[in-house]
Amino acid sequence: MSLLELEDVRASYGHADVLHGISLTLPDNGATGLLGANGAGKTTTLRAISGMVRTTGRVLFEGRDISGLGPDRTAALGIAHVPEGRGTLGQLTVRENLLVGAYRRKDKAAVSADLDYCLDLFPNLAERIRSHAAALSGGEQQMLAVGRAFMAKPRVMLLDEASLGLAPSTARRVYDAVVRLRQEAQVAMVVVEQNANLAFSVVDDATVLETGRVALHGTSSELLGMDAVRRAYLGG
């Protein structure tokens, strides 16, 4: 049984249809990517998973249909969404932001250990632990957003354009940490990313969306071997 599965998921905003029957599967501890141009439906697919948009079809988590549960109940099941734009709480410190991610958890000793792990994962945050989030650089805010999602102890992390607006070296540091999270914490991931080189450093396979439909699906190695994919997403 897949950890997460989308079956013929359709979504709309008002009268505008955005997704036209998206299907994908994510195995336990797996990582899959969503590629496509702006407006292809990548972000809406993540929102459909996390209950932020009305859908038809089915979103299954551990075999249970979670369609329509809403963001709070979906998050409580173990699905953490790192949205485009980061969404950090600017007036709270780095430490406070991280602990906000763990507010549902009762295991205080484990929360403390995960906080230490998070600061090891992102040394920049350790150096700025008492700083307000609003004072951080864009890269540090992205690290904080990923760290806060990890502090919820999710089974699945939905990562939306984590490299957006970042210098290449900073984006690489963020994705190095994401790779560690997958390998060490065994967090499954759905990764939306314009930079396919970064996405393919994390994911096992990927789905290419075009105007809300699945245009192509394959393993990372299969997609890397396709000239059309390389030209569109890798500049080759």
Dump pLDDT digits (tens) for 59-108. 999 999 999 899 999 999 999 999 987 678 888 999 999 999 999 999 99
Residue 179 lies in a domain: yes
Read off the CATH number of the domain in which 44 is found: 3.40.50.300
In a domain, 146, yes or no: no
Of 55, 31, 62, nearest to 41 (Cα)? 55
Give percent of the chain above pLDDT 90.
Answer: 81
Phi, psi at 220, each rounded to 5°: -55, -45
Residue 119: inside a domain: no
Integer Cα distance of 174 and 163 in angstroms: 8
Residue 144 within a domain: no
Quick: pLDDT tens for 140-149.
999 999 999 9
Contact between 86 and 50 (Cβ < 8 Å): no
Domain-embedded: residue 41? yes
Q: Looking at the domain assignment, is residue 65 inside a domain?
A: yes
CA distance 59 to 201: 26
Give tens-digit pLDDT for 183-218. 999 999 999 988 888 999 999 999 999 999 999 999
pTM of the model: 0.93
* Residue 104 resides in a domain: no
Does 96 map to a domain? no
Q: Does the pLDDT at position 115 exceed 50?
A: yes
Print the domain residue range for 230.
4-87+153-234
| Helix (H/G/I), strand (E/B), else coil: 69 | coil
Q: Quick one: pLDDT at residue 37?
A: 86
Q: How many domains does the chain have?
A: 1
The confidence band for 229, taking pLDDT boundaries of 50, 70 and 90, is: confident
